[in-house]
Chains A and B, each alone.
Chain A
Amino acid sequence: MYPRKFSYVAPSRVEEVLRLLKRYGDEAKLLAGGHSLLPMMKLRIIGPRVVIDLKNLRERLSYIRDGARAVRIGALTTHAEIELSDMLRREIPLLPETARLIGDMQVRNMGTVGGSITHADPSADWPVAMLALNATFTVQGARKRLVPASKFFKGPFTTALKPTELLMEITIPKPPKGHGWSWQKFERKAGDFATVNVAVIAIPDGKSRVKDVSIAVGSVNPVPYRATGAEKMLRGKRPDAELLKSTAEAAAEPAEPTSDLRGSAEYKKWLTKVMVRRALEEALSRAGIPVEVVQHA
């Protein structure tokens, strides 16, 4: 399968990329790792007239930097680089775990975090993880602007990025040491996109209570969402099994999945509850928050 004919350019400076985007506008597509773009071009779902290959920007836009309060990741960093980062495994383990379950080894060697985020597939993994972690995206156009993950995803394959803008960097505030986390991805087979994916970060207060929690859910709506209602139910609480169950139900409430090859709408809605409950159990246990089991008479 060949993509439609296109012309090709591989600039080596960000300014050049921006100039090219201005010149070609909607006719151009940016190529990062190409593992979302090229399949779509080969299947002729899209046929851009111009492909702007970002391979010569790798040196500038591929990095994982540790800071006092946040970690910054360059948009062209591959999934594999995040998967293999010891620093991230220590500081924000949700990130390497999310990376580890994307596609397969070969795909992770090419695919990039920025490519996945800007592609905004409703079943993609990074948007869910970034939403749970309160990440901020640095976007460069005529001027630089910061877009929080919660305002970035607008619809399936649609983001707040203008045709003349480039995603440069992702800033992820570090959750406090001792936080609990969980990445739950349900896939039909190894390497598949998620049927449902859930990210949870749980912060303990040191007295067996939940100080703060974030729950992000993906694949069941046009864009991933934060289950803010469910988060409220847990904050300040010493959770028991009953509370986790009702929290998971509340978290699945906004889900309006559609039936497709990965399952019926009804099944996916039910699966959302299960995955949120599993994610909460795992995250709370990692945070050292015991979950009291309710004794039914």
Chain B
Amino acid sequence: MPRRRTQRPRPAAEPAQDMVSVRVRINGVEYSHVVEPRLLLVNYIRDVVGLTGTHVGCDTSHCGACTVLVKGLWGDGWMAVKSCTLLAAQVDGKEILTIEGLAKNGELHPLQRAFWENHGLQCGFCTPGMIMAALGLLLRNPNPTREEIKWGISGNLCRCTGYVNIIKSIEDAAKEMREKGVTI
């Protein structure tokens, strides 16, 4: 009897990958890593790249401490997003701005200066996220009313200040940014 050769179909290559490569530009510096797809952007920024200014607060997209700006998610502009609720893989190829990228040549960004001068913080934990959210708002609306500022930062929680000086800081920074034509 001739032996029948059973030919098993070769398994097709698995289209979904267990590791993904992520190449991003953070504060003007290029980074490239191969990471697990489940790695969240905030953990990528803090633990892989080592920029710990972006904070993890609630880790459930409520508190906004993890807010960073990403460029070109849609349209060409910068956009504030909560990096605890984004996979690093989702922003592959994008530009990212974190709180460390705001000061230029030892000069604070108008938002940083305004938070300092108006005492827009107490413990400071929410501040990086607060400033990045404020920047996201001001890039979209350079001359917001007090109501629009409140609405703009409604996704950022501060447990110390009661927000009064934070709002004052953002108004102050918005004025300087308009006068000096500063954006990022």
- On A, residues with C-beta under 8 Å from B are 1-11, 20, 23-24, 31, 34-35, 38-39, 41-43, 50-53, 55, 58, 62, 78, 80-81, 103-107, 109-110, 190-191
Contacts and interface: CB of A to CB of B under 8 A. Distances in A.
Contact of A35 (B15, B85, B136, B137): B85
B74 A106 contact: no
Contact of B81 (A10, A51, A53, A106): A106
Contact of B86 (A10, A38, A43): A38
Contacts of B14: 7
Contacts of B81: 106, 109-110
Given A50-B16, A190-B154, 10 more contacts: A4-B38, A9-B16, A23-B15, A34-B86, A104-B64, A104-B156, A106-B61, A106-B133, A107-B61, A109-B79
B137 A109 contact: no
Contacts of A20: 15-16
With most chain B CB atoms within 10 A of its CB, the pick from A62, A81, A104 is A104
A169 B37 CA distance: 28
Top 8 A-B pairs, shortest CB-CB distance: A104-B155, A8-B37, A7-B16, A190-B154, A9-B16, A106-B82, A50-B16, A3-B38
Interface string B1-27: 000000000000011111010000000
B87 interface: yes
A1 B53 CA distance: 19
A24 B137 contact: no
B89 interface: yes
Interface residues of B, number: 38
B73 A110 contact: yes
A5 B82 CA distance: 21
5 contacts: A23-B15, A38-B85, A39-B60, A42-B59, A106-B67
Contacts of B61: 35, 39, 106-107
Nearest to B129: A106
A38 B154 CA distance: 21
B142 interface: no
Contacts of B79: 80, 109
B90 A55 contact: yes
B87 A9 contact: no
Contacts of B51: none
B36 interface: yes
B60 A8 contact: no
B64 A8 contact: no
B152 interface: yes
A8 B137 contact: no
